Amino acid sequence: MPDPAPVSREEQKRRTRDAITFAARGLFVAQGYTETSVNTIARAAGVSRQGFYLHFSGKAQIVVELMRRIGPEILAMYGDLDEVEDPDVPAVRAWLEQHAHVWHRYSMEFAAMEQALAEDADVAAEWFAFTREIVSRLPRALNAQRRSGATEALARARLHAAVMAVDRSFHFLFLRGHTEDQDAELTALAEILSRQLAH
């Protein structure tokens, strides 16, 4: 049996970076962002502290990495929302239910982000910039806002506020487990978004 092909230096770096990210993700959820040290992450990933710092400047950078990994899927979903021909309440509600699947699938990543947001200004700035980037995936909604007489700044602010409403509501519904009024909450969010998306 031939020897396996040697792993390239770049592939080894990628594997180590992935191992650190995976270890940190689990630790953030298990013991919290604050309680998780770089040393603990390095040990769990099987690297030295020095090895950790070859890949990340600190644990906040890992959270930013997690955000960037799931970001394209979230942006694509908002792009799909903007393409809904008639964004009435039932159509937007159906989209919210699909979006909820993303929050369930990436619940560990979202939990780590939420903890880091409260403690690290860089993580908070990254997430806020990302929520603003979502607005750029809503060109039809922006045009509709402008046609209604809104300035560019107001059009973007309205849509950003709606995106933030989804983010905060989903945080409490799907990360904190406050699902007692989930049906009404999703309908209310659909009403808010529908008003802002109306073409």
Tens of pLDDT, residues 34-54: 999 999 999 999 999 999 999
User: Does the structure show a pLDDT above 90 at 5?
Assistant: no
Name, in order, each residue with C-beta under 8 angstroms of 115's C-beta and a sequence gap of 6 or more: 28, 32, 33, 34
DSSP 138-165: -HHHHHHHHHTT--HHHHHHHHHHHHHH
Q: What is the CATH number of the domain that holds 68?
A: 1.10.357
The reply to whether 182 and 91 lie within a common domain is: yes
Q: What is the CATH number of the domain that holds 11?
A: 1.10.10.60
Let me know: does 163 contact 128? Beta carbons within 8 Å. no
Let me know: does 171 contact 115? Beta carbons within 8 Å. no
Average pLDDT over residues 76-101: 97
User: Does the structure show a pLDDT above 90 at 1?
Assistant: no
Instruction: Report pLDDT digits (tens) over 126-160.
Output: 999 999 999 999 999 999 999 999 999 999 999 99
- Asked which of 56, 75, 102 is the last residue of a domain, the reply is 56
Average pLDDT over residues 76-98: 97
Nearest of 174, 160, 169 to residue 190 by alpha carbon: 169
Name, in order, each residue with C-beta under 8 angstroms of 151's C-beta and a sequence gap of 6 or more: none
> Distance between CA 83 and CA 137 in Å, rounded?
10
The reply to whether 30 and 89 lie within a common domain is: no
Tell the burial category of 89 from Cβ atoms under 10 Å away from its Cβ (0-12, 13-18, 19+): middle
- Look up the pTM and report it: 0.88
Query: Chain-wide mean pLDDT for the chain?
Result: 93
- What's residue 7's pLDDT? 73
The reply to whether 21 and 85 lie within a common domain is: no
Instruction: Report pLDDT digits (tens) over 25-37.
Output: 999 989 989 999 9
The reply to whether 174 and 83 lie within a common domain is: yes
3-state secondary structure of 97: helix
